[in-house]
Structure 1
Amino acid sequence: MGQKPGELEPTRSALHYFGAEVRRLRTARGLSQAELGRLLYQHRDLVRKIETAQRLPSEEFVGRCDDALDARGALRRMWPMLVRERRLRRGGDPAGSGYHSEASDRPVLDWLLAPDTSRRGRADTEASLSARQTLRSLRELDHACGAGAAYTAVAGVLEDGLDEVVAASPEVATGLLELAGYEAVDLGADGVAQRHYLRALEVVGATGDRLYGGYIVGVSLAHLALHCGDAEQAIRLATAALQGTERHAGPGTRAAFRTVLARAHARRGDERACMASLQEVDADLSRRSAGEEPGWIGYFGEADLADEKAHCFFDLGRFDLAQQEASRALRLLEPMRVRRRAIDAALLASCLARMGDLEQACAAGHVAVRQARATASFRAKHRVALMMAELHRHGHLPEVKELAELVRATLPTSTAAGQGAATRPSTAR
């Protein structure tokens, strides 16, 4: 007798989703695990372990499986996500380029204990104005096209003239490093992102800009920790930022820190702590006055807050509230923020799928795919994959089949997945 197939949860991880897709495609073609193994020149036990999420596949296995099962790129598209999962499971790769929570501990402690010598407001020079314009242009490129299109340009600026930018405008240099870190996350290169952020913290610490340092700690590094599955570290970092900027942070900046706290509490399943943090965020934003916050926090408004709340409520299993906030975010987001619109549309589709409204879920999914194909973003395509994992058990329905076909036809089968970022270690000290 054959073994009973192991239970899979496609929404649990990229590995579970990949295994579920391999099993679905194999059974649809009437193949046994042994028969698929012969087509792949692999033992049936390896097929079984991969289908049951007990074993991470190799890139060769993924490619051959895609060909043998006529997946038309659907399996190859998952490879970057499987690579990232492997890195996180191993705590970083053997070369040390992966994300490590503990690597942030000492730099953040040094920042927290350093004397408060904040001295912002340096007069602009021609060089600093030019650097500021470069940073503004690169941010616009990132918003519109994603890191796959923008990271090389950002890293090139850092590689060719970071010291000059630091001398002309430390704040702009920190902004460039922070943007490089954000884009490295968007490429799936979490370890590279961490090193960009820590270099930014080093620059800002040397110049005494306490408030911007708090942003690097409480938003950039804390969001990265959350992105890599370490909610406890995210809480520590956001708390450190609140404490370290107590004398300097305005309500808008505090709201950004507390939003990360809310996200981390939600990820831990602590609804009471999450809701308490969100109440503080709302109170902070109600006291915010135009012009009193630094320019780099100006982006954080109602659209971003709705996005953050949607993710909080989704993690807490409050899918009705998550659906409302994701819809609100999409209404408020500017059209140029293509990556964020893709992520929120995919999140909305996932919420609707959990609520059983599959027709509307697929409608939102179509929006997500159209937005995702317009941006070279690992995170956007990752969120689309998570959306499809939510719909996996409904794959027999015509509307889900149509959406899956749209994904296969319009999204590329791979992303940069950190390859571009990994080739520039000199800018990520």
Structure 2
Amino acid sequence: MAEQQPNEGLSRLLKEADLTLGQLATSINGAGREAGLEVRCDKSNVSKWLKGTTPVERVRPLILEALSRRLGRPVTHEEAGLPAPKTGPGAVGTVEGLVDLGRADMDPSRRTVLGAGLYSVALTIPGWPDVFGRAEAVKKGPGVRIGFGEVDMVVQMTEKVSELDDQFGGRTARPMAASFLVNTVAPYLRADASEDVRRAMLAAASDLCYLTGYMAVDEGLHGLAQSYYMKALELAGASEDHLTFCTTLRGMSVQAVDLGHGPDAVRLAEAAAAASPQAGPRMLAFLTGQQAHSAALEGNKKAALRYIREAEAAMDRAESRGKPLGSYDPAALNYHIAQVRYCLGDVHGSIEALQESNRVRFSVYRRGNVRMRALLAERQLQVGHLEEAVKTWHEALDDYPLVRSGRADERMKTMRQLIRPHLRHQGAAELHDRFQQMPVAV
């Protein structure tokens, strides 16, 4: 039996990151929780790895992610003295990778696979020149020919799935999107077609991948969402679809904001804006609003206020709603205004903007209504307005039983925690009782 050799690579990285054994273990456990995995590492595990024991396969990406977050750069298996994975996304083409991703997503027993569940702040995001025109990644297949009718069907299906997501949440709509990607869209991408049809189908597939990633975020499957987003970027480049490319980068910034990764959110928001130099007014508002939120999360008041002013001015110039997946309306703008104010310490101003956002949001966005009303209630309670908060939470509960959304569930868990200290108040007690009697388990 070969004698174990100390892991010098991991030891060097620990020193570079200025982490103790216990701190690394804590970071690994935190990354595991984000991925929906129960990992219980402690300093004794790290000590064994340093002495040469190989970590189990499911923990290795968590080690790399914990170190990458601390160091602010990607850390590879080789650098950390760990065996490289036997398979990886780089070994397959665009369509094959999409099928693998969708099939894994369709199988409930595989949704906790580490590669699909881990969010990475060190992900390398391709620029537009890197993906533009990479249509050779998708190979034509003999025997089947498609036309614009098939493209239109994919576009319409994506719109319907988006409507279901808005009304009922990502957990309801995403499984059918994954199935549609694997069983219908992927074969279309392999089919014979004219150049115009092939490019239009790639663009339609890109839109659907973006939407599926967005719904994975809603479910709390952040690594899976990143995988879909990266596929959306590949397909957008192959189809020369600038709009979906920018929209996807912006969506990745939203995801980073939700997870509290400020520098990553800023980087992605700036990349989205840089990739769209000729954006119309609504798209400009869409992009600068997210830049404002990201900058505010990082405490950059000057940039945040400048971006939000630009977003407001652009929205004033906008004349139409734009395409469904890239639209940006007054409700969304007021949400960004609210988040900027809150990040910069203006809680009362944030409440005013959220109230306006809720007032002008369309009723078809049921999932968004639940989340935003719950967020408003949290901030009303924060400034001591208990009765107003209770009323707003009741409004959120009106729609909550119809929504299957991880983000909505999180807001309800927060409500339950915040209301418990106030159960002597009659309204708070009634709210608590109403929630307890709901058929939705949180």
TM exceeding 0.5: yes
Q: Post-superposition shift, 1:390?
A: 3.9
Of 239, 250, 254 in structure 1, the residue corresponding to residue 284 of structure 2 is 254
Contact 2:218–2:406 under 8 Å retained in 1? yes
Letter in 1 for 2:174: Y
Letter in 2 for 1:202: E
Aligned to 1:223, the other structure's residue is in SS state helix
* Pair 1:85–1:231, CA change in 2 (3 A): farther
Contact 1:142–1:149 under 8 Å retained in 2? yes
1:182 aligns with 2:214: yes
1:208 aligns with 2:240: yes
**What corresponds to 2:168 in structure 1?**
145
**What corresponds to 1:325 in structure 2?**
353
* Pair 1:173–1:56, CA change in 2 (3 A): closer
Contact 2:28–2:62 under 8 Å retained in 1? no
**What corresponds to 1:308 in structure 2?**
336
Contact 2:121–2:264 under 8 Å retained in 1? yes
Contact 2:34–2:118 under 8 Å retained in 1? no
Alpha-carbon distance between aligned partners in 1 of 2:207 and 2:437, rounded to the nearest angstrom: 37
Alpha-carbon distance between aligned partners in 2 of 1:229 and 1:137, rounded to the nearest angstrom: 31
Letter in 2 for 1:191: G
Deviations 1:64-123 (A, max 9, x none): xxxxxxxxxxxxxxxx999489899974888233100212x2x324x35566899xxxx9
Q: Post-superposition shift, 1:284?
A: 1.6
Q: Tell me the TM-score normalized by structure 1.
A: 0.69
* Pair 1:389–1:278, CA change in 2 (3 A): farther
* Pair 1:140–1:251, CA change in 2 (3 A): same
Aligned to 2:207, the other structure's residue is in SS state helix
Within a 5 Å distance, the mapping from 1:13-412 to structure 2 comes to: 83=36, 91=65, 95-96=114-115, 97-103=117-123, 105=124, 107-109=125-127, 111-113=128-130, 125-166=148-189, 167=198, 169-217=201-249, 219-246=250-277, 248-290=278-320, 294=323, 296-297=325-326, 299-410=327-438, 412=440
Contact 2:206–2:235 under 8 Å retained in 1? yes
Q: Post-superposition shift, 1:136?
A: 1.4
Contact 1:117–1:210 under 8 Å retained in 2? no
Q: Post-superposition shift, 1:327?
A: 1.3
Judge which range, 137-146 or 123-132, deviates more. 123-132
Aligned to 1:101, the other structure's residue is in SS state coil
The count of aligned residue pairs is: 328
Alpha-carbon distance between aligned partners in 2 of 1:81 and 1:195, rounded to the nearest angstrom: 15
Q: Post-superposition shift, 1:55?
A: 12
Alpha-carbon distance between aligned partners in 2 of 1:143 and 1:326, rounded to the nearest angstrom: 19
Q: Post-superposition shift, 1:294?
A: 5.0
Deviations 1:353-393 (A, max 9, x none): 01111011111011112222220011112122233444454
Alpha-carbon distance between aligned partners in 2 of 1:241 and 1:377, rounded to the nearest angstrom: 26
* Pair 1:294–1:55, CA change in 2 (3 A): closer
Aligned to 2:231, the other structure's residue is in SS state helix
Alpha-carbon distance between aligned partners in 2 of 1:114 and 1:149, rounded to the nearest angstrom: 32
Letter in 2 for 1:243: A
Judge which range, 204-213 or 404-413, deviates more. 404-413
Contact 1:131–1:165 under 8 Å retained in 2? no
Alpha-carbon distance between aligned partners in 2 of 1:330 and 1:85, rounded to the nearest angstrom: 37
* Pair 1:308–1:372, CA change in 2 (3 A): farther
Gaps of 5+ in 1: 1-53, 58-79, 415-429
Contact 1:259–1:278 under 8 Å retained in 2? yes
Deviations 1:1-59 (A, max 9, x none): xxxxxxxxxxxxxxxxxxxxxxxxxxxxxxxxxxxxxxxxxxxxxxxxxxxxx9999xx
Aligned to 1:99, the other structure's residue is in SS state coil
Alpha-carbon distance between aligned partners in 2 of 1:316 and 1:132, rounded to the nearest angstrom: 40
Deviations 1:132-159 (A, max 9, x none): 2111111111111111211111111011
* Structural RMSD (CA): 3.2
Q: Post-superposition shift, 1:397?
A: 2.7
Contact 1:112–1:240 under 8 Å retained in 2? no
Q: Tell me the TM-score normalized by structure 2.
A: 0.67
Aligned to 1:410, the other structure's residue is in SS state coil
Letter in 2 for 1:108: P
* Pair 1:363–1:315, CA change in 2 (3 A): same
